[in-house]
Structure 1
Amino acid sequence: MSQTGKRKASMADRVYEALKDDIFEFRLIPGDKFSEGDVGTRLNASRTPVREALYRLQREGYVEVMFRSGWQVKPFDFQQVEELYDLRITLEQAAIHKICSQPEEPSVIRTLTTIWNPDHPSERAVGSTVRALDESFHCDLVAAAGNREMTRIHREITDRLRIIRRLDFTRDERVDATYNEHATILAALRRGQADEAANKLANHIRTSQKAVRAITMERIREAAHRNQADGTPTEEGPGKQ
């Protein structure tokens, strides 16, 4: 790649990360509209890397292009989120039953048990680390079942839910609950109690789902109120168009 190509790729990555962070931190809230020119001006980037970054975010489901009116942060579709959670639970419960039917316990289950049963609360992960560990917990459970298509579909669902699931670890009580619930799921799984482990898993996911929905709505309301209070414009102007 030429030096010019490398610079463009680097700028596109920078714009992508900046916009994604704005979306994740609710500086851009669902429904906010903006143009490529606005983004370029704010981030001091030319149109090409801005467009590359936006197309990447579009593929990942964070933004959508509006016919003749620029771009928009994709509004949350809570019905779709509910359906994705339903599918996720189905896959993870099926994985638990497959694991319990295997002649030997997969080694990853012992590894997960060590991670989610620390000797002291001070050894627990925090912030982005606990988010990554939680995602790995669920993905590793499905992968341990040994069905590659199940693993692939579950990974796609995980990717689509990441923007909302990450909020489950912004409060200490939710981190504590995650550690405790993961530990009880693993304990039942290691005892070979598939039904109990599957039920505990479903309850764990539903509790998390309810929490992240509440936190999401709270963050959206706070961001909208903050923008109204300080007069902060959206990317397109003083208000949504």
Structure 2
Amino acid sequence: MFFDRSNPSWDHPEFGESLPQQIYKHILKNIIEGNIKAGEKIVEEDVSKELNTSRAPVREALYLLQVDGIVERIPRRGTVVRTFAQHEIIEYNDVTIELLRVAVDYSRDKWNEENRSTLRMYIEELNYEFENKNVIPYQIKAQQLLKFLLFVADNKALTRFYDEASHILKVFAQTQWNIKTVENFHANFHIFAESLLLPDYDRAKEAIYHALKQGVIRG
């Protein structure tokens, strides 16, 4: 098991975050980025040594991950990263779609030239990873673009709900996506991003619906 100590959320935690919350985010990041695979065991002692902390906050972080459905405790095996049933993925996906469509509406009057310039940068980076068939980097860039949409929408409640719903989908993508899934997803995701630039917000909302629907089809 490998933990990325360069994670900025570990060295620079958000204001008010407890140590277990920081460790939670640290473990989750490693799951999303493929450093910890579905079905792999997470050992409290290993994490505490990697992060130079006691086992108590690690235990609490794993409990938080269990509550959110990211990991599960299996008798005689310990804590492992969950493998998700298709119906669970579809439910989380449907919620995420609606949250993003609401975010598009909240962002309508907030796309100034600076925000558009940043969005163009994300689109260019996304297209680069797509053209080079880099599955994991593509997933990361797509998530960055969606988080930027939430940033522009500037609704804290919406961002919090999105973060909670999208965790499961990130883990699913890390374990199940291949280049065919990326191709199916990108066809509509590119339309979504370009429609925000035009702007054509109704088309953007339609495109993100179709993109995320394609994203949960096993390629």
TM range (shorter): 0.5 to 0.7
Task: Give the letter aligned to residue 167 of structure 2.
Answer: D
Matched, 1:25 2:30: no
CA distance in 2, matches of 1:106, 1:147: 20
RMSD over aligned CA atoms reads: 4.1
Aligned to 1:203: 210
Secondary structure of the corresponding residue to residue 64 of structure 1: strand
Deviations 1:104-145, CA, capped at 9 Å, x for gaps? 536334322233246x85895735432221111112112211
- Structure number with higher relative contact order (C-alpha < 8 Å, ≥ 6 residues apart): 1
TM score, norm. by length of structure 2: 0.62
Matches within 5 A, 1:80-95: 80-95=88-103
Secondary structure of the corresponding residue to residue 199 of structure 2: coil
Percent of residue pairs identical: 14
Among 163, 172, 193, the alignment partner of 1:164 is: 172
Aligned to 1:130: 138
CA distance in 1, matches of 2:111, 2:77: 55
Task: Give the letter aligned to residue 199 of structure 1.
Answer: E
Change (3 A) 1:136 1:51: same
Task: Give the letter aligned to residue 158 of structure 2.
Answer: M
CA distance in 1, matches of 2:213, 2:57: 36
Aligned to 1:59: 64
Task: Give the letter aligned to residue 102 of structure 2.
Answer: A
TM score, norm. by length of structure 1: 0.58
Task: Give the letter aligned to residue 91 of structure 1.
Answer: L
8 A contact 1:117–1:183 mirrored in 2: no
Gaps of 5+ in 2: 1-18
CA distance in 1, matches of 2:70, 2:143: 19
Matches within 5 A, 1:1-241: 24-26=36-38, 28=40, 53=58, 55-60=60-65, 61-65=69-73, 69=76, 71=78, 73=80, 74-100=82-108, 102=109, 104-105=111-112, 107-117=114-124, 126-167=134-175, 170-171=178-179, 173-210=180-217, 214=218
Say which is worse superposed, 74-83 or 49-58, in terms of deviation.
Answer: 49-58
CA distance in 1, matches of 2:55, 2:70: 15
Change (3 A) 1:90 1:22: closer
Structure possessing the higher radius of gyration over alpha carbons: 1
